[in-house]
Amino acid sequence: GRSESALLKLIHASKIYAKNGICALNAVDLTVQDGDYISVTGASGSGKSTLMHILGLLDSLTEGEYLLDGAAVAHLPAKQRARLRSEKIGFVFQQFRLLTGMTALENVALPLALQGVPRHERSERALAVLERVGLSDRANHRPHQLSGGQQQRVAIARAVVTEPCVILADEPTAGLDPMGRDEILDQIASLHETRGITIILVSHSMEDIAKYVERLIVMNHGEAVFDDEPKKVFSHYKELETMGLAAPQITYIMHALKEHGLNVDADATTVEEARDSILAALKASDSPLLKEGGAEK
């Protein structure tokens, strides 16, 4: 069945931090299939990073089970966790965490060195992934010679060079300007589309989530309270607000238009969907707006 073949599976996963007794994950059930592109959102302190640490084998569960590629890994000793981590997990963190004394190529090749891959093969593979993120001409630059977006693309190349089975990206666009942000999200989307890489992306931007992902998990006080298509989750915008979150602004506009009698699709979440739905509704209602405004050409 699907559950046996799941790439990642959490079963009633709980994490209580011993040092302060905080329950950061509370009986979370989660199934990720190979090739999924999932976003995780939630207010600050809701447990998103803890979830990523658990999935990425950086930490162990207090209770419950974690099946990675079918193997139970929740309670492995730290050493075995580390080995599995370097084989199977690619991380992209919020801060770029590139080594400043190394070139882009050396940074990307580093995880291969840790795996004992021979030197010439390391450079070859590192160069190939740098090319994939559009930076082969920057291979010999050091991090300070690159823009924020470029640095984060190097970090993405470093995360994929070992051919992990999942990329865990925890707020990878935080601190980037809008161009750098689009650069990174487009890069991640393209890895997903062209290579079918499984991606779990922590994001605060509902607009980005609406645009890029197929599935959205909402964390609240350590619980996964929604796990569905973004559209379906956003229709619960009033509940999201009680968690300190909000739907995309488009959701509010569409609901307001609908309340005012325009027969639009209130589930539209991107600007393009909203435009199409508003134009169609205006056309159907034979609105004078279309004739005067000339929006329809």
Cβ burial, residue 273 (10 Å; 0-12/13-18/19+): middle
Q: Which helix (H) or strand (E) holds 182?
A: helix 178-195
Closest separation in Å from C-beta 44 to ligand ADP: 5
SS3 118: coil
Closest separation in Å from C-beta 46 to ligand ADP: 4
Closest separation in Å from C-beta 24 to ligand ADP: 4
d(Cα 66, Cα 10) in Å, to the nearest integer?
Answer: 5
Stretch that binds ligand ADP, among 48-56, 82-90, 144-152, 256-264 (CB under 6 A): 48-56
Closest separation in Å from C-beta 19 to ligand ADP: 6
Is there binding between residue 187 and Mg ion (CB under 5 A)?
A: no
Q: Give the closest residue to 100 by CA, choosing from 146, 37, 169, 43.
A: 146
Cβ neighbours for 6, distance < 8 A, ≥ 6 positions apart: 31, 32, 33, 67
Sheet holding 63-68, edge to edge: 23-32, 8-16, 63-68, 71-72
Is there binding between residue 203 and Mg ion (CB under 5 A)?
A: no
Closest separation in Å from C-beta 281 to ligand ADP: 38
Binding partner at 17 among ligand ADP, Mg ion, none, C-beta below 5 to 8 Å by kind: ligand ADP
The 4-43 contact track toward ligand ADP, x by CB under 6 A, reads: -------------x-xx-x-x-----------------x-
Closest separation in Å from C-beta 26 to ligand ADP: 11
Is there binding between residue 45 and ligand ADP (CB under 6 A)?
A: yes
d(Cα 27, Cα 217) in Å, to the nearest integer?
Answer: 14
Nearer to Mg ion (CB atom), residue 219 or residue 268? 219
Whole-number Cα distances in Å, 108 to 93, 103, 105, 135, 253: 14, 9, 5, 11, 44
* Among positions 48, 81, 153, 181, the unique one binding ligand ADP when judged by CB under 6 A: 48
Nearer to ligand ADP (CB atom), residue 44 or residue 100? 44
Cβ neighbours for 241, distance < 8 A, ≥ 6 positions apart: none
Dihedral angle over CA of 21, 57, 39, 3, nearest 10: -100
* Among positions 1, 2, 4, 44, the unique one binding ligand ADP when judged by CB under 6 A: 44
* Among positions 41, 49, 152, 187, the unique one binding Mg ion when judged by CB under 5 A: 49
Under a CB-based contact definition with an 8 Å cutoff, are residues 61 and 26 in contact? no
Count of positions on this chain that bind ligand ADP (CB under 6 A) = 13
Closest separation in Å from C-beta 125 to ligand ADP: 32
Binding site for ligand ADP (CB under 6 A): 17, 19-20, 22, 24, 42, 44-50
Binding site for Mg ion (CB under 5 A): 48-49
